[in-house]
Amino acid sequence: EDQVTQSPEALRLQEGESSSLNCSYTVSGLRGLFWYRQDPGKGPEFLFTLYSAGEEKEKERLKATLTKKESFLHITAPKPEDSATYLCAVQASGTYKYIFGTGTRLKVLA
Amino acid sequence: DGGITQSPKYLFRKEGQNVTLSCEQNLNHDAMYWYRQDPGQGLRLIYYSQIVNDFQKGDIAEGYSVSREKKESFPLTVTSAQKNPTAFYLCASSPGAASGRREETQYFGPGTRLLVL
C-alpha cells in the first residue's frame, strides 16, 4: 500500500537553530514528491516538487532533497515566521491521486 | 493573478440540509480535487476530476457529490447523508494528464470550514 510518513510530528526550534524534517514514502514507482507549507486556517502553499533521487531544490532558508525512500526538508537559520505545518505528498506512477503525510508542526521561538 | 478561489470561507449546515462548496480556478488546469482535512489527520481525497464531465470517487466519497460541467469549476455538495461533515475542505488543481505536461504540482485554494449547527 502506498504510504507517506512524516517525522517528527512536532518540532520546536530556537531562532537560528537549523534542523531537518523527514518524509518517508512507500510507493510503487514515484511520479513526484511535493512539499507544502500550511498556516493555521489556510490552504497549503506550494514549496517544492522533486521527481528523482538525488534532486535538490532551494528557496530562501529551505532546501528539499530526495532519495529513493525519503525526502528531507532542511531549514537553515529559521526565523519565527517559518513557524507552520509542513506537509509532504507523493504521487505514484500510473495514478493521478496524491497521498499526504500528516505533517510536521514547526514552531520557531524568537 | 492566477489561482484557486473557494467560497464561502465559513459555512454552517443544519440537520438534514445539503450544502454546496464552491471552487473556481483560472490556472487552465485540467485536473481538480476535493480534500477533507481533520485535526491530526492527513488530507483525505473525496473526489477528483481529470477532465470536464468526468470525475472519480476518492477514499471518502460517501455522503458527498460533485459535478464538473466547466473546466474552471468543481463544486462539492455535502449531503445530509454525511453524518460527520464538520471539517476543513480544500480544493486543489493540477495540470492533469490531458495537458501532456510532466509538471503535476497541485495548487490549493484557501479552504472552506464547514460547521454543523
Q: Using one digit for the tens of pLDDT, what is the confidence trace for B18-60?
A: 999 999 999 999 999 999 999 878 899 999 999 999 999 999 9
Predicted confidence band at B1 (pLDDT cuts at 50, 70, 90)? Answer: low
More confident residue, A39 or B102: A39
Q: Is A39 on the interface with B (CB under 8 A)?
A: no
Q: How far apart are CA B15 and CA B58, in angstroms?
A: 25
Average pLDDT for residues B10-23, to the nearest whole number? 93
Mean pLDDT of chain A, nearest integer: 95
Q: Closest to A101 (Cβ–Cβ): which among B42, B103, B111?
A: B42
User: A49, B107: Cβ pair inside 8 Å?
Assistant: no
pLDDT value of position A24:
98
Backbone angles phi, psi at A82, to 5 degrees: -80, -5
Residue-wise pLDDT for A55-83, tens only, equals 999 999 999 999 999 999 999 999 999 99
| Bond from prior residue into B75 cis (ω within 30 degrees of 0) | no
pLDDT value of position B98:
62
Q: Tally A–B CB contacts below 8 A.
A: 58
| Residue A83 contacts residue A10 (beta carbons within 8 Å) | no
- Chain centre distance of CA A26: 15
Predicted confidence band at B117 (pLDDT cuts at 50, 70, 90)? Answer: confident
| Nearest C-alpha neighbor of B112 from the set B34, B60, B26 | B34
Q: How far apart are CA A29 and CA A107, in angstroms?
A: 33
Based on the number of CB atoms within 10 Å of its own CB, is A71 exposed (0-12), middle (13-18) or buried (19 or more)?
Answer: buried
Residue-wise pLDDT for B62-97, tens only, equals 999 999 999 999 999 999 988 899 999 999 999 876
In chain B, % helix, strand, coil (3-state, to 5) comes to 5, 50, 50
Q: Closest to A97 (Cβ–Cβ): which among B45, B105, B107?
A: B45
For an interface test with A, the pick among B49, B103, B105, B113 (most A C-beta atoms closer than 10 Å) comes out as B105
Looking at the predicted structure, is the pLDDT value of residue B16 above 90? no
| Nearest C-alpha neighbor of A102 from the set A3, A9, A1, A2 | A9
Average pLDDT for residues A28-45, to the nearest whole number? 94
User: A102, B107: Cβ pair inside 8 Å?
Assistant: no
| Nearest C-alpha neighbor of B97 from the set A44, A94, A36 | A94
